Structure 1
Amino acid sequence: MQPPVLSPYQSLMAATPVVHRSVQVDGRTTHYWEYGPSDATQTVLAVHGFRGDHHGLETIAAHLTGVRVIVPDLPGFGVSDPLPVSDIESYVAWLTAFHATLGLGRDAVVLGHSFGSIVVSASVAAGLDTRLLVLVNPIAAPALQGPRAVGTGIAIGYYRAGAVLPKPIGLGILRNAAIVRVMSIAMLKSHDRGMRRWVHDQHDRYFSAFANRTSVLEAFRTSVTHDVSEYADRIDVPVLMIAAEHDDITAVPEQRALAARLHDAELVVVPGVGHLVHYETPAPAAAAVLRRMADTPARPGRGRAAKAGRPAGAGRASRATATKASATEETDA
């Protein structure tokens, strides 16, 4: 493979401390990376999207100045061991156990990008406690319904073929460089040549780092058969949604509908970008997270007991707001 393309955020990344660690979670190894100062008073646990690994959230981590950011490779992706079955219940059990193994409490902010937004939302709905849930490019609506249903069906066929064909052919299809590049081009919105070259290089390097064909097929099925709206009624912590103006996977009206269903949600729409906020516009995304973290102090308890007996949906959307992030992006040559 060719030498890596220089990141637009190279100097910021070089100035950000990073440590690679691993831990046993239910008998399987999860690799994770800690960014930022080890003695930071605030921690963010960040979960990346489908077919990616921790590299995808490095730029947001670097922009969260002064915060310790923990980014694991999802089981079955990057270098983490796969789960026996990659369904949503297994991902929830893994994240909950990983959170506990690291000794994280409710003060740790939980963040998820894309497929990671489903994993973290399901986990919080199941009882994982956090003072703030952050969803970047959240999957806010079902992928098997509406205008994306046909494309989703085609993608299901692609992953199924990759899993059932003879191994050399199946892996060749799943890791085909041309197909990966088409996916990358479809998601990119930036016209900056340097940015485009770097994002394509990131996908070329890390988009095919999965443990086996079964894991990637099961994870894809999980990603398209679940969405954040499925868990909205059971999420009772403050939520920051960072959506994108031109996201082809979940449009802004669907993001607004999800925000209205959540008990306490703020929706920030980043202009001029699509599903790759974490690559193309990490600075405004991180700025929104830092601002909301400052405005969301730790709570004495989860608060679910205090709301016991409240009718479903009572008070929902009472604090939902929508703001627009700045399109200005600072890059370091």
Structure 2
Amino acid sequence: MAAVAVHSAALGEGRPTLPYAEAGRPGSTPLLLVHGYLDSWWTFEPLLRRMPPGLHAYAPTQRGHGDAGKPPDGYLPEDFADDLVAFMDGVGIERAVLVGGSSGGVQARIVAGRRPDRVAGLVLLGVPATLADKPRAAEFWEAVRELRDPVDPALAAALSEGLTETPMGRGFLQTVVDEMLKAPAHVWRETLRGLLETDLRATLSGILVPTLLVWGERDPILTREEQQTILDAIPDSRLVVYEGVGHLAYWETPDRVLRDLATFVTDRT
């Protein structure tokens, strides 16, 4: 198993300090792992502890989440995207393959579209084209629009369930819930508001870097047609379908995800 080191990065004046996990051997094109809504770097722990020597990954916890700084505002997808570029500057990454998990792929693709000079490739692991048409997202918004601290642990537990076809260990899922609960109510509310009110389809335009989509065919949230929407919008893109896998392939089949990432990185360098 790979050693996972946790550090912190100060992003500069007006931006929060972000903790980040690092694994793998420096020297190759780095991977920048971008987590989704309410997650932290921990969501990538199954990948990080299996990281092969040929890959070098950074997984920052984004503002408001986990143990990162929690400013009162700045939770639009573009705010998270700006933080990613500032993070790269702060830790000395010139170019990286951006790997977005779930809604983390939104800010990853914003960076890919706006700053292709900093992006060697883009990988979208179970990423939506939009959330505006998702009944599950609308229902969850009703639960968080008036949310106040402290957040009910049962709400976090409900959000983490049913995302994989193969059941995850209780200890792992409890840590995921514990990490979610580190985000205060205003982060739950404003981050989801940003995802719902931003035109996410517009963030697909202008992406010219090579792009790999990974989608589990048992995904309870995203459809195959939605992945086709992303393929149609990004010229140099291809889709890999994981049969029998749910929404979070990087939890359920981390070894396969790492093999596909290694092949993608090798093809880019």
The alignment's TM-score, normalised by the length of structure 2, stands at 0.90
2:48 is matched with 61
Residue 203 (structure 1) aligns with = 176
Q: Tell me the distance in 2 between the aligned counterparts of 1:273 and 1:160.
A: 31
Q: SS of the counterpart of 1:171?
A: coil
Structure 1 residue 21 and structure 2 residue 2: aligned? no
Shift of residue 55 of structure 1?
Answer: 0.6
Q: Tell me which amino acid in the other structure corresponds to 2:156.
A: V
1:78 to partner: Cα distance: 0.9
Q: Report the structure number with the largest CA radius of gyration.
A: 1
Unaligned runs of 5+ in 1: 1-11, 163-169, 298-333
- How do residues 42-121 of structure 1 correspond to structure 2 at under 5 angstroms? 42-66=29-53, 67-83=55-71, 84-106=73-95, 108-121=96-109
User: Which segment drifts farther, 221-230 or 41-50?
Assistant: 221-230
1:161 aligns with 2:146: yes
User: Which runs of structure 2 are paired with 1:304-315 in the superposition (5 Å)?
Assistant: none
Deviation at 1:226, TM superposition (A): 4.1
Residue 116 of structure 1: how far off its partner (Å): 0.8
**2:149 match:** 171
Check the 8 A contact 2:153/2:181 in 1, yes or no.
Answer: no
* SS of equivalent to 1:161: coil
The question of 1:258 aligning with 2:244 is answered no
Q: CA RMSD in A?
A: 1.9
Aligned-partner SS, 2:119: coil
1:187 aligned residue (154, 157, 163): 163
2: distance between equivalents of 1:41 and 1:249? 34
Aligned residue among 198, 216, 229 for 2:188: 216
Q: TM-score, normalised by structure 1?
A: 0.74
CA contact (8 A) 1:30 1:73 kept: yes
State percent identity of aligned pairs.
22
Return the alpha-carbon distance in structure 1 between the equivalents of residues 224 and 169 of structure 2.
24
Tell me the number of residue pairs that the alignment of Structure 1 and Structure 2 aligns: 264
Write the letter of the residue equivalent to 1:25. L
C-alpha separation in 2, matches of 1:133 and 1:200: 27
Is the 8 Å Cα contact of residues 42 and 176 (structure 2) preserved in structure 1? no
